[in-house]
Amino acid sequence: NSFVTRTNTCGELRSAHVGQRVTLYGWVQYQRQGLFLVLRDFQGLTQVIIPQDEAHSHVKELLSSAPVESVVRVTGTVSPRPLGQENPKMPTGDIEVKAETAEILNSCKKLPFEIKDFIKKSEALRMQYRYLDLRSTRLQSVLRLRSCLVMRMREFLCNLHGFVDVETPTLFKRTPGGAKEFLVPSREAGKFYSLPQSPQQFKQLLMVGGLDRYFQVARCYRDEGSRPDRQPEFTQIDIEMSFVDQTGIQRLTEGLLQHSWPEERGSIVTPFPSMTYEEALAEYGTDKPDTRFGMKIMDVSDVLRGSNIHFVQNALSYPRGSIRAICIPQGVRYLTNKDLESLKESAKSQFNQEIMEIIHRPDGSLKSLLTKFLGEKEQSELIQALNMQEDDVVLLAAGEHKQVCSALGALRLLSANLLEAAGLALRDPTAFHFLWVVDFPLFLPKAENPSELESAHHPFTAPHPSDASLLYSDPTKVRSQHYDLVLNGNEVGGGSIRIHSAELQRFVLEKVLKEDSEVLSHLIEALEFGAPPHGGIALGLDRLISLIVDAPSIRDVIAFPKSFRGRDLMGNAPDYVTPEELEPYHIQVSWPLEEKEAKKN
């Protein structure tokens, strides 16, 4: 209550305050028949008794007529609630304030929706009136938790470990590769700034500048379609260190999260487990495994290798061919035929992968189109290899290793959703399973042209020391010093040890990625002036918070988010500007015909 004219907040009065004269400010949450109202502020609720005597008739008239969500000031005396009228669900439920004077500071017009967490509102309406949505208990709680977590992170990095908080520019130039960047026109004809998708180059340059340890709560921008876990503008905890290796960055990150983790979410155990990219793909079908439940992908190639099944032999004839399966526990009991068909259709449509189902009957036999091709010994070996129990359902796939694993990894998650929807408790919603994924490939074939390569992370990532020689002979086999941090199947951070040799950086850009290194000449030149070995990580703050509070989307943990399509529905941005405003930037807009007609009308 420092610096303000209230004596107390609406959430702090208790029995110990009885008899005190207080002044409260807040919003009218509820008013009942001119007898009492509930006043709300950021901290909680207080019941205010409206006076009924003639001497305070003006106070009664004013408070009785105040519309819900009006802002009022109330001065009165704290009293105990009458016996039997206490409300144990309210922290202030033992007291009430008997109003003596009051003032309506701002009356509220008719609301587009009620400010109550249990009232369902469309997301579009909530975003259009975000300033009203922010009054909800849930959003208030989330934003305060977020603020507290960031403050604890600053404390850990700056106060305890000597990091320097540095703001880096928002207006910069285009970076080759990676996500699409927003362009900002300049007054020089044909020249544009780019909004950085991360402060990557600047934090490396800070290491060249000898700053040693850098940190920033960084605003980042990507011109991509919005998804539940993506926004065109987002926030990351950006970190870079000199003279550090991969293990050092991992231990720092674990300590940072342990120090800042909200107490009400329990404790987290460090060090976090780790697995390689290849292990993650083979066992979970993804580079961001959800390790809260089993149903791992199992290799049954050796069990079926001796069979006469055509598609099995065909798959195993490929250089990277394999037969793999997942076992869905109690699948017969919890999944319908329609569910199983939808799973198989999903694998077909998304991965062009055929799926064969196998059911373990109560009598111990198997039900499947495969069984007529398998002897009793092979069936028994299959049951043993997959640890099949009564009423389990197995989904089996054959083909190229990565395609098979990716398809089964997606089916594993879809199956988990179906099992939980049917009532089987599979994933603990209060559990937080962190995991490091390491040894990613340094390069991947481009989707549009597989004969060309692109960076799996970004072009500044250093190769794994054991694979350095392969960079010049077979770059597709080079592993990187890139590491991702995964939480409950979501990537919440990623980083790498960087290339600090100008010669190596130039080779990667020009010879491997076929990029014009001139765009990055400033960085390459900086590496020639005694750049220290360095590395870092960036944690996605929005995604991390959304997982901590179990929000369905990162839009639910950002004060003023963009819509699913990247629009600001409250301020109606982006918006049109006049030709006169564009003229200094040497830009003319070429309108599609239908938009021309729409603007005329």
Q: Which of 534, 538, 539 is nearest to 245 (CA)?
A: 534
On average, the pLDDT of the chain sits at: 94
Residue 127, Cα to own-chain centre: how many angstroms? 19
Residue 328: partners with Cβ closer than 8 Å, 6 or more residues away: 295, 335, 392, 393, 394, 395, 415, 419
Q: How far apart are CA 52 and CA 7, in angstroms?
A: 24
Tell me the mean pLDDT in the region 138-147: 97
Q: What residue ranges define each of the domains in the chain, with the CATH number in brackets?
A: 15-106 (2.40.50.140), 140-275+433-556 (3.30.930.10), 293-422 (3.30.1360.30)
Q: What is the mean pLDDT of residues 149-177?
A: 94
Question: Does the pLDDT of residue 178 top 70, yes or no?
Answer: no
For residue 2, the model assigns a pLDDT of 87
Cα–Cα distance between 30 and 39 in angstroms, integer? Answer: 7
String of DSSP letters for 484-542? EEEETTEEEEEEEEBP--HHHHHHIIIIIS---GGGGHHHHHHHTTTPPPEEEEEEEHH
| Structure confidence by residue, pLDDT tens digits, 181-207 | 999 999 999 999 999 999 999 999 999
CB 514 within 8 A of CB 449: no
Residues 27-84 pLDDT 10s: 999 999 999 999 999 999 999 999 999 999 999 999 999 999 999 999 999 999 999 9
What proportion of the chain, given as a percentage, has pLDDT over 90? 87
Cβ-based neighbours of 527, under 8 Å, separated by 6 or more: 208, 499, 500, 501, 502, 505
DSSP-based three-state secondary structure for 338: helix
pLDDT band per the 50, 70, 90 thresholds, residue 498: very high
Q: Is the pLDDT of residue 177 over 70?
A: no
pLDDT by residue (tens digit) across 314-373?
Answer: 999 888 999 999 999 999 999 999 999 999 999 999 999 999 999 999 998 999 988 888
Packing angle of the helix pair 246-260, 137-154 (nearest 10 deg): 130
**Greatest extent of the chain over all pairs of C-alpha atoms, in Å:** 98
The residue count for the chain: 601
| Residues 200, 214 contacting (CB under 8 angstroms) | no
pLDDT at position 180: 87
Cα-Cα-Cα-Cα dihedral of 386, 392, 393, 396, to 10°? 0
**Residue 85 predicted with pLDDT over 80:** yes
Q: What is the pLDDT of residues 523-571, one digit of tens each?
A: 999 999 999 999 999 999 999 999 999 998 999 999 999 988 889 999 9
Residue with tokens 């009228």: 85
pLDDT of 591: 82
Residues 207, 209, 213, 214: is their CA dihedral positive or negative? Answer: negative
- What is the Cα gyration radius of the chain? 30
pLDDT at 167 over 90: yes
- In terms of DSSP bridges, do strands 434-438 and 274-276 run parallel, antiparallel, or are they unpaired? parallel
Q: Is residue 460 over pLDDT 70?
A: yes
Write the pLDDT tens digit of every residue in 99-125: 999 999 999 999 999 988 878 889 999
Confidence (pLDDT) at 595: 65
Comparison of pLDDT for 375 and 497, the residue scoring more: 497
pLDDT at 147: 98
Within 8 A by CB and 6+ apart from 520, the residues are 175, 176, 201, 505, 509
Q: Mean of the pLDDT values across residues 256-281?
A: 97
pTM of the predicted structure, to 2 decimals:
0.93
Cα–Cα dist 75/6, whole Å: 9
Q: Which two tokens stand for residue 554?
A: 């990162």
Grade residue 497 by pLDDT with cuts at 50, 70 and 90: very high
pLDDT at 154 over 90: yes
Is pLDDT above 80 for 227?
Answer: no
The pLDDT value given to residue 185: 95
